[in-house]
Structure 1
Amino acid sequence: MTSQVSSAAEKADEANDAVLGGQRAPLSGTTGTTGGDGKEVRRLDRVIIRFAGDSGDGMQLTGDRFTSETASFGNDLSTLPNFPAEIRAPAGTLPGVSSFQLHFADHDILTPGDAPNVLVAMNPAALKANIDDVPRGAEIIVNTDEFTKRPMAKVGYATSPLEDGSLEAYNVHPVPLTTLTIEALKEFGLSRKEAERSKNMFALGLLSWMYHRPTEGTETFLRQKFAKKPEIAEANVAAFRAGWNFGETTEDFAVSYEVAPAAQAFPTGTYRNISGNLALSYGLIAAGQLADLPLYLGSYPITPASDILHELSKHKNFGVR
């Protein structure tokens, strides 16, 4: 799902997109710098990335971690999580696609953007559900391990879009994310299914290399999140690092990108990264306090409502029942 320009502020933000002959022009930037890995480093003023996959592929977590590291780096940003409309939609189907879009820049921005410059598609359903939003010339990273006959048939692909020429207008990076993740985690003795679950961290590592994002925060987060299962924590960290190393060493990714901090747009200080769910939780608590009434929320425990329930449960001292 894409955001639609509906306000003067959003129109001002979208005006930064130059349009040539009806097509979106490339993002402004400079070239010529070489990184420590010997590859070209291209400087951009802003980027829109969309992570897309099954609801069980961890796209919301992946997007959230990229967002957190981007915020700590100092970029201005805006996000657009998109959750499946159906509860427990069959895996690999269009209704089950989950995505997370992030727009970050070296200046003040106002919207999460409409058209992603980069699409990470974890399976055929994710590609088909999002391809119409992707402008010509954009980069598409696809998990080739999922482009087999059965997953493609589920979404109506008679032939592989990776081979039939339908993606010629895009800069496609075919990456066997699942295979590479399993290979990277061999030493941990995990089952294939357990190892596959870390492929989102491999993708996150790759994109973190691609856009020069910090890594320490994500590694700390993973170790805290899986503190009771240290072997799973270290496996996810290993997958994350493997993704970074893959980007650094593979010839398919010849360019990485830098987006400078938005230092001129925001003064130095302490900022809070707040999601819509967290803001809603605080708003409900504040409303209960102002009305001098206890707060009760009845909701089905599934994303995204679960986050609101979890947050409210932390604040029983404010009359939350």
Structure 2
Amino acid sequence: MTTIPDFPAEIRAPQGSVGGVSSFQIQIGGTEIYTPGDKVDVLVVMNPAALKANLGFLKPGGTIIADKDSFNTRNLKKADYDTNPLEDDSLNDYHVFRTPATSLTREALKDLGLENQVMTRSKNMFALGVVNYLFSRPLDNIIVFLEKKFGKKPVMLQANRLALEAGYNFAVSTELMGPSIIIPPANLPKGTYRNIDGNTAAAWGLLAAAENSGKKLSLCSYPITPASEILHELSARKDMGAIVFQAEDEIAAVCAAVGAAFSGNLSATTTSGPGASLKTEAMGLAVIAELPLVLINVQRAGPSTGLPTKTEQSDLYQALYGRHGEAPLVVMAASSPDDCFYYSYMAAKIAMENTTPVVLLSDSYLSSGTSPWRIPENGELPDISVPKFDKPAEEWKPYLRQPDSLNRYWMSPGDKGFEHRIGGLEKQEITGNLTYEPQNHEKMTKIREAKIEGIAGKLPKQKVIGAASGKLLVVGWGSTHGAINTAVIELLEEGGKDIGYTHFNYINPLPENTEGILGSFEQILVCELNNGQFVNYLRAKFPGLNFKQFNKIQGQPFFTSEIKAAIINTLTE
């Protein structure tokens, strides 16, 4: 099961208007699901505006479950309908199930002493009851959820339960619904699962990294859509040792995070594009000071304010290059909501083990979408080995390094014998003293670069799905994995023997076997939700290869059908 919500940026958009419509899409199946799906089989609409906004996402011949009570003259006018689509011929290509959801909900709740407005809010539970009947699902789990949600509000518990049962019973009693849809249970690997959204998963990944490294977690952030939920989640986790500081602005937040890293804590800051712009100078400070700091950028669409609640992958250049001077750092990207747990954990691991800032790219689609997450068993996550100096303190210097990795030893200035200062001015090799000596600056610049490049040898090898060589390699990164993976699997099952697919989670540095994989194919099609940032990065790294690109910049994730069409078009050019 995979889900994605879609909602406007306005806090209080005009009720009943097309611009104010929010939606929630879910795909369920008996096999592993990688995306929320393309066009839907069933569309539930609570008013005319919802129908107008979402009808284009319904498959031909699909089912519409509509609250016919809301299709009144006033609401039809708000949605710019001249006639009632539930009564004219405009929906003849669909199976339309007209439910009196509002009136039947009020009837079911009439003895609870609630106002009409309050009773009407429960009609979503009526619709859920109808949907549960359609998909042959019992109400037991929903009732358990309602009991947990409204256990301290018995009237609201009863209202939601009565509305749910009314919708289910209405569907049972009418013959308009047609046959039920039966989906077998998914055959998942053994384990304990829960559905999780990307922001919660990212927060929990940081907590796990703090636990496994023996460090305290400090999150220093400023609220911003769509990253705020990481701040909210960790602020509620003081019982797990999380130290949370909500700063007055983005710059204060990242500067506090730099200070927390200097003190010896696992330090993180969260933001989205506009906030990441403000954090760039302090990220440069973390680079030159060689401090472990995790910045999670939950990308959103557009420059400036843009489309705050929509998704895009357009901050890649910013993550790679968005600092003055030669300021290399590690850049990573998560692929799915549940994936955010693992890669926030790995971002923290890499930051601490290599005393470097790490940027982890998520996006709006991952942050609020959900997918099943198998809770790791004890000992299943990779160990975290922090570079600590194990000799007498008298032998230590602030920029003394491990000879193989070039990592600076990460020592807390509060530990006896390890008192030291850092700052943004260039430091002398080993001693950490301030110096303007030209050759030292060049040497330190190259050391910082070599340290990041050396991390490539510690990364997992890049994998290929499908053909290991051939006519076309499809490439993705970050949140595009679900749609690309599904498209490639479908094409392989249809006989596409010369197609391979590789997906990148480690962007800088790239895994060591990247060039070998890319060079094994005649063409390389890079699919991304921007205007070609990753493909241009790869072109600069591997100039002799034949790169093609497929881009979408609409504030929406890829559809599987779009990727399939792009692959077929590339093969037939």
TM-score of the superposition, structure 2-length normalised?
Answer: 0.40
1:315 aligns with 2:237: yes
Structure-2 residue corresponding to 1:52: none
Alpha-carbon separation, structure 1, partners of 2:99 and 2:199:
33
Whether the 8 Å contact between 1:142 and 1:175 is mirrored in structure 2 is yes
Residue identity in the other structure for 2:7: F
Shift of 1:104: 0.9
Shift of 1:85: 2.6
1:194 aligns with 2:114: no
Within a 5 Å distance, the mapping from 1:1-321 to structure 2 comes to 77-263=1-187, 266-283=188-205, 285=207, 294-299=218-223, 307-316=229-238, 317-321=241-245
Describe the SS at the equivalent of 1:135: strand
Whether the 8 Å contact between 1:145 and 1:177 is mirrored in structure 2 is yes
Shifted more, 288-297 versus 140-149: the winner is: 288-297
Describe the SS at the equivalent of 2:234: helix
Shifted more, 172-181 versus 285-294: the winner is: 285-294
Q: Percent identity at matched positions?
A: 49
Alpha-carbon separation, structure 2, partners of 1:271 and 1:112:
18
Residue identity in the other structure for 1:297: S
What is the CA RMSD across the aligned residues, in angstroms? 2.2
Alpha-carbon separation, structure 2, partners of 1:189 and 1:292:
51
Residue identity in the other structure for 1:276: G
Structure-2 residue corresponding to 1:15: none
Alpha-carbon separation, structure 1, partners of 2:99 and 2:91:
15
Q: 1:255 to 1:293 in 2, by over 3 A?
A: closer
Alpha-carbon separation, structure 2, partners of 1:198 and 1:219:
14
Shift of 1:261: 0.8
Residue identity in the other structure for 2:8: P
Whether the 8 Å contact between 1:85 and 1:95 is mirrored in structure 2 is no
Q: 1:213 to 1:308 in 2, by over 3 A?
A: farther
Alpha-carbon separation, structure 2, partners of 1:272 and 1:167:
38
1:217-236 CA-to-partner distances (Å, cap 9, x unmatched) read 21122122122211111111
Shifted more, 196-205 versus 149-158: the winner is: 149-158
Q: 1:194 to 1:140 in 2, by over 3 A?
A: same
Describe the SS at the equivalent of 1:109: coil
Q: 1:307 to 1:230 in 2, by over 3 A?
A: farther
Whether the 8 Å contact between 1:124 and 1:147 is mirrored in structure 2 is yes
Alpha-carbon separation, structure 2, partners of 1:124 and 1:284:
43
Q: 1:128 to 1:103 in 2, by over 3 A?
A: same
Whether the 8 Å contact between 2:61 and 2:94 is mirrored in structure 1 is yes
Structure 1 stretches lacking a partner, 5+ long:
1-76
Whether the 8 Å contact between 1:181 and 1:196 is mirrored in structure 2 is yes
Shift of 1:240: 0.8
Alpha-carbon separation, structure 2, partners of 1:105 and 1:274:
17
Shift of 1:284: 5.4
1:42-69 CA-to-partner distances (Å, cap 9, x unmatched) read xxxxxxxxxxxxxxxxxxxxxxxxxxxx
Shift of 1:121: 0.5
Describe the SS at the equivalent of 2:2: strand
Whether the 8 Å contact between 1:285 and 1:320 is mirrored in structure 2 is no
Alpha-carbon separation, structure 2, partners of 1:154 and 1:283:
45
Q: 1:153 to 1:229 in 2, by over 3 A?
A: same
Residue identity in the other structure for 2:31: H
Whether the 8 Å contact between 1:108 and 1:262 is mirrored in structure 2 is yes
1:189-216 CA-to-partner distances (Å, cap 9, x unmatched) read 2111111111011111111111122322
Residue identity in the other structure for 2:154: P
Shift of 1:294: 2.1
Alpha-carbon separation, structure 1, partners of 2:232 and 2:117:
28
Q: 1:235 to 1:101 in 2, by over 3 A?
A: same
Shift of 1:283: 4.3
Alpha-carbon separation, structure 2, partners of 1:195 and 1:307:
30
Shift of 1:280: 3.1
Q: 1:150 to 1:287 in 2, by over 3 A?
A: farther
Whether the 8 Å contact between 1:284 and 1:295 is mirrored in structure 2 is no
Residue correspondences, number: 241
Alpha-carbon separation, structure 1, partners of 2:203 and 2:138:
29
1:134-178 CA-to-partner distances (Å, cap 9, x unmatched) read 121000111111111111111211111112211111111111111
Residue identity in the other structure for 2:22: S
Whether the 8 Å contact between 1:86 and 1:95 is mirrored in structure 2 is no
Shift of 1:307: 4.4
Residue identity in the other structure for 1:275: D
Residue identity in the other structure for 1:185: L
Q: 1:187 to 1:308 in 2, by over 3 A?
A: farther
Describe the SS at the equivalent of 2:146: helix
Structure-2 residue corresponding to 1:54: none
Q: 1:200 to 1:307 in 2, by over 3 A?
A: farther
Whether the 8 Å contact between 2:216 and 2:243 is mirrored in structure 1 is no
Alpha-carbon separation, structure 1, partners of 2:143 and 2:227:
26
Residue identity in the other structure for 2:32: D
Alpha-carbon separation, structure 2, partners of 1:252 and 1:198:
23
Shift of 1:96: 1.4
Alpha-carbon separation, structure 2, partners of 1:96 and 1:294:
37
Describe the SS at the equivalent of 1:101: strand
